[in-house]
Amino acid sequence: MAKKEIKAMHWADQTAQRIIAQREKKDKYVLAAGITPSGTIHLGNFREIITVDLIDKAMKDLGHKTRFIYSWDDYDVFRKVPTNMPKQNMLKEHLRRAISDVPDPFDCSHKSYAEHNEKEVEKELPDLNIAPEFIYQTKMNKKSAYAEEMKTALENTGKIKEILNEHRKEPLEESWLPVAIFCEKCGKDTTKSIEYPGGYELTYECSCGNKDIFDFRKKGIAKLKWRIDWPARWKYEKVDFESGGKDHFAAGGSFQTGERILEEVFKTKIFASIRYEWISMKGTGPLNQHLIPFFAKFSQTSFGELPNSSMSLISGKCVTNFMLDKESSRPDSEMASSYVT
């Protein structure tokens, strides 16, 4: 009798089946990923793109239509100047502005610091046969796309505070609101006070002296804070799947609080997700030996921002490994860069 061949299924196929089983039948399933382009995009970010892309392809193999959306959180605030960036003093002057409002420190034609970092990644992806639909959060917020979600969040400030306070040592202040505002005059989020009188209105006073009352359906200067922004976008885009790094999945992390806000505030059923591990520098393979000097030069942390020139080399090799190696490519396994030697 011939031996029965047992073929183990690739994790991407398993995940695709799980999404279909877990979600209501849809004409088009929405798979989401995204990051803040606050510095050079690193290998960990590529892992997320590749992870979701493989699941997207597995969904298509099963005969389903999909939208793979990749969100650039370029309306996030510019908090810190990465050490590998040129023109440090110029960049420091623009701290607290939206990243899309910070000038490009490189001598090229990008419109902003955010756009520079975004295009560095976008230009790599066609070679890897990855083509997500990019969503730029500055554009979305400036056209007040999330005004309804913002109103719901503001009306449910008490409930949101309750959810977030469960995981905080110090409770949020009495005056806390789920929104931040970029002052129309100085462009920074250094507002002294924000108030919500009701409806679609917000008032603010900035530390630069500017004050205003505005309708957030007409002026896109307000933005939901991260832990509320994420579930608001899950609702808006009708997301069926999103992955996240393990920091987001920690107890009390933004994924967990986001799930509760999605269900309890936005009244939307939670979707499928997958957690991915960090990528670390381990081993002494030839590629690591080649890369460690780069890290020593460019990175402040154990795994920091890679110089762009290394990205193609590494991402290409990573993809090959992801495609070929079922186990090491699992999102829940720690992927050491020695795999890519």
Q: In whole angstroms, how close is the CB of 212 to Zn ion at the nearest point?
A: 10
Q: In whole angstroms, how close is the CB of 123 to Zn ion at the nearest point?
A: 11
Q: What's the start-to-end Cα distance of the chain, in Å? A: 42
Give 183 or 232: the residue with its C-beta nearer to Zn ion: 183
Q: In whole angstroms, how close is the CB of 158 to Zn ion at the nearest point?
A: 28
The verdict on 193 binding Zn ion (CB under 5 A) reads no
Record the tokens describing residue 74, joined without a space. Answer: 């370029």
CA separation for the pair 265, 231 (Å, rounded): 9
The verdict on 12 binding Zn ion (CB under 5 A) reads no
Q: In whole angstroms, how close is the CB of 68 to Zn ion at the nearest point?
A: 25
The verdict on 106 binding Zn ion (CB under 5 A) reads yes
Give 115 or 240: the residue with its C-beta nearer to Zn ion: 115
The verdict on 97 binding Zn ion (CB under 5 A) reads no
Give 148 or 205: the residue with its C-beta nearer to Zn ion: 205
Which DSSP string corresponds to 37-98? -SS---HHHHHHHHHHHHHHHHHHHTT-EEEEEEEE-TTSB-----TT-S-HHHHHHTTTBB
Q: How many residues does the chain have?
A: 341
Give 18 or 110: the residue with its C-beta nearer to Zn ion: 110
The verdict on 238 binding Zn ion (CB under 5 A) reads no
Report the candidate in 74, 73, 56 with the shortest Cα–Cα distance to residue 65: 56
The verdict on 183 binding Zn ion (CB under 5 A) reads yes
Report the candidate in 338, 335, 341 with the shortest Cα–Cα distance to residue 50: 335
Choose, by CB under 5 A, the member of 88, 165, 193, 210 that binds Zn ion.
Answer: 210
Choose, by CB under 5 A, the member of 18, 84, 95, 104 that binds Zn ion.
Answer: 104
The verdict on 201 binding Zn ion (CB under 5 A) reads no
The verdict on 116 binding Zn ion (CB under 5 A) reads yes
Give 47 or 188: the residue with its C-beta nearer to Zn ion: 188
Establish how many alpha carbons lie within 13 A of residue 217's alpha carbon, considering only the half-sphere containing its beta carbon: 6
Pairing of strands 65-72, 133-136: parallel
Choose, by CB under 5 A, the member of 95, 128, 172, 186 that binds Zn ion.
Answer: 186
Choose, by CB under 5 A, the member of 6, 108, 296, 324 that binds Zn ion.
Answer: 108
Q: In whole angstroms, how close is the CB of 46 to Zn ion at the nearest point?
A: 19
Contact map string, positions 136 to 175, toward Zn ion, x by CB under 5 A: ----------------------------------------
Stretch that binds Zn ion, among 10-18, 102-110, 164-172, 263-271 (CB under 5 A): 102-110
The verdict on 274 binding Zn ion (CB under 5 A) reads no
CA separation for the pair 184, 97 (Å, rounded): 11
The verdict on 121 binding Zn ion (CB under 5 A) reads no
Choose, by CB under 5 A, the member of 208, 211, 312, 326 that binds Zn ion.
Answer: 208
- The 8 Å CB, 24+ separation contacts for 207-213 are 208/183, 209/185, 210/183, 210/184, 210/185, 210/186, 212/184
- The 8 Å CB, 24+ separation contacts for 16-25 are 16/55, 16/58, 16/59, 16/61, 16/62, 16/64, 17/62, 18/272, 19/55, 19/59, 19/240, 19/241, 19/271, 19/272, 20/59, 20/62, 20/64, 22/271, 22/272, 23/240, 23/271, 23/272
The verdict on 223 binding Zn ion (CB under 5 A) reads no
30 phi, psi to nearest 5 deg: -105, 120
CA separation for the pair 252, 166 (Å, rounded): 8
Name residues contacting Zn ion, limited to 300-319 (CB under 5 A).
none
Choose, by CB under 5 A, the member of 185, 282, 290, 326 that binds Zn ion.
Answer: 185
| Number of residues counted as binding Zn ion (CB under 5 A) | 11
Residues in contact with Zn ion by CB under 5 A are 104, 106, 108, 110, 116, 183, 185-186, 206, 208, 210
